[in-house]
Structure 1
Amino acid sequence: MDFYDDDLNFSEIDGDLRTSVRSNENFSLVSSTSTAVSREIDHLRSEIRHIAENATKSKEKALREKKIAENNSIIERKKNKIAEDKLKQVAEMAEQIRRMSDQKIKQSKDRIEQLKDELSRTKAKLGSYEDQSSKLERCKIRISGLEDTLERVKSEKSKAMAEYQLERERRIRGENRLTPEADFNNELQTRTHELEFELKEKNKEVQNLDRRFNERGEKLAEVTVKMNEASKENIRMKRRLEKINATNKEMNREAAESSGDLEKALDALKTLKAELKTKSEIVKKKNDQITALESERAELVENIDGIRHNERIQKDSKADVERRLVVALQDHAIAQMTIKELEEKLSERVELFEGLREKVEDDAKRENQNAIERIQEDLKLCK
């Protein structure tokens, strides 16, 4: 912003001053005018210093706001990173819940299949016990028939023994009374032998029936013991079956609850995935904004460097102006000029300095306003 050399030609001013000084005769008035010029120069210096201080303050404010924007950007990045970590943890937890639910459902299904197999085996055992029970009932019926047959044989044996005894007594009485005839004796002996043979057969049959009765009794006792054991086993099986049914119901209920939990976990996982996607998009947008802010920050740094360069140029220009003013004052003090020409020159110079001051102030205000607007836009983007 080197605007001094464009608006002020010091060589022409010095030439005009030297030309007008030669015709002035009142040195005291020139001295007083020089004092006024010095005061005006001091005033201009103070205003230039004030403008420079305002520019420095604006620059410092811009730097502070830029630093605040960078800190806000860093905080936002940290928050986004924490949110992403939390979402990842929740997603991993939901996946772990899903795996545990699947494993629990599989275990429940395996347990249900095992219980079904045990139930089938129990039903088969119950059917076998029922068959044995029916066989036992048939054995009892047959034993009852054998008992009846044994009683009948015993009664027939008793009857045969009675008849044999009766015939023997008759034969003895007949031998004692009369001499029996040969046919009667033969018949009697034959009948006696038949009765004895029949009696022996009946005895054998009775012994056989006793043996069979004892065997059947032993088998009946064994079957009764087995039946009692089967009844006890049947009761145990019924209780176990009831317990299995209760366990099956409980497993079905747990499986239903696990399925509900799994569905909830899957829904939560879908929601978390959607939120994660949304957060990722937001983070992507924030990263784009941060990239834009970084580029704008680089531009701000370049602008600040330009402002500093312009400030150095302004200082150099101000020093050059002050040096030239001192030279001009010295030449003006030495020279003699009229008050009118001096006032005209001073008026022109004051107007020139006023124009320079207004231009400097306008440029500084415009640059400060532009910097403030850019910083406000950066802050809005960061928010």
Structure 2
Amino acid sequence: MTTEPPAKKKCIGVQCDNDAQSLQCPNCQKLGIKGSFFCSQDCFKKSWNDHKALHKIVSGKTTTGILDHIRTPKVVSEPDPATGLYNPFPSFSYTGPVRPVYPLSEKRTVPKDIPWPDYAESGYPKSERFVNRNKFEILDAKGQEAMRKVCRYGREVLDIVAAEVKPGVTTDYLDKVCHEACLERKSYPSPLNYNHFPKSFCTSVNEVICHGIPDQRVLLDGDIINLDVSLYHGGYHADLNETYYVGDRAKADPDTVRVVEAARECLDEAAKSIKPGTLMREFGNIIEKHAKSQNCSVIRTYCGHGVGSLFHCPPNVPHYAKNKAVGECKPGMTFTIEPMIALGKYRDITWPDNWTSTTIDGKKTAQFEHTYLVTEDGVEVLTARTETSPGGPVPMPSVENGTNGTNGS
């Protein structure tokens, strides 16, 4: 995924927007990795834990959905003779009870009469490579109207899929429902083949934070599931997600309700401050304050982002306090806020499929996301719920059988 370097090299350090100096990672030089420049020795040291993963990828010790196709794992359990199902990573140290259930269904197709984004065939979002990280897209009236339309479609698709959530259905079935609903609206499901993601949307169950791959796992009474829908229509992307309770047992568990409703409230509280002039770094302060008030922690690895003609673009919108995000809200900007809130520690770990991210302690996590348009005097929630949308807030149940979660921040 290397490209011609820009005139000014940017530091590749974690959350660093400085120009790079001549300091280059020595291991990258040995491995033939180009462009690994940093602004300072301190930035290099701070970024080391994340950066060294690139060395493993190039050395063939691991792989990533961002840099390569998902490869066949080295250790694969034998399919069950009765069902044909199997866990593709039997030797992996899972942090919680959720397991992948393979085989994955065949890649779903999109007719050519539906416009495709630039990565639909190659898997690489080329247009996102050349984005200036400090320049935010401002939509004109035509662009704003196109975003309203695609986001309305996104809400319709999410509601259709959410209506199918119940014990006994598989996440692969939900993917089929999502895919067909997108096609009915002459829309391309944005996640499909984005950096080689194999499905049409993400299904993240219980301790899965995000990027769960729909498979043959059956939903159980007591689960929670995040449905993350994105679609591409008229040259623009919509992006939204919600977490839903599966069956009555989930709604009766105090800790489960606490983390789901905390995540919902975190998003609502942050959205109240969207208006021209609000700094992007302020949303994280609001979110973490409310999460801590509910004895929950905020996942730090993933953030909200600009969305419009590109699926992911500036600005970055971190969800944790005291972050150093750049920029401020301006009329015509469209972006997401999508806090991921956990019962336990905020740290995460990724499965060998190189997509599925889970909490490091296996405790439940929940997420909610909207696409927002900044207006002259406030905000428009482009993916807002309707009166008939499935889901919605659930009251806290009796704590007689509940347990206390721990704050891992």
Q: TM-score, normalised on structure 2?
A: 0.16
Q: TM-score, normalised on structure 1?
A: 0.17
- Which one has the bigger helix percentage? 1
- Which one has the bigger strand percentage? 2
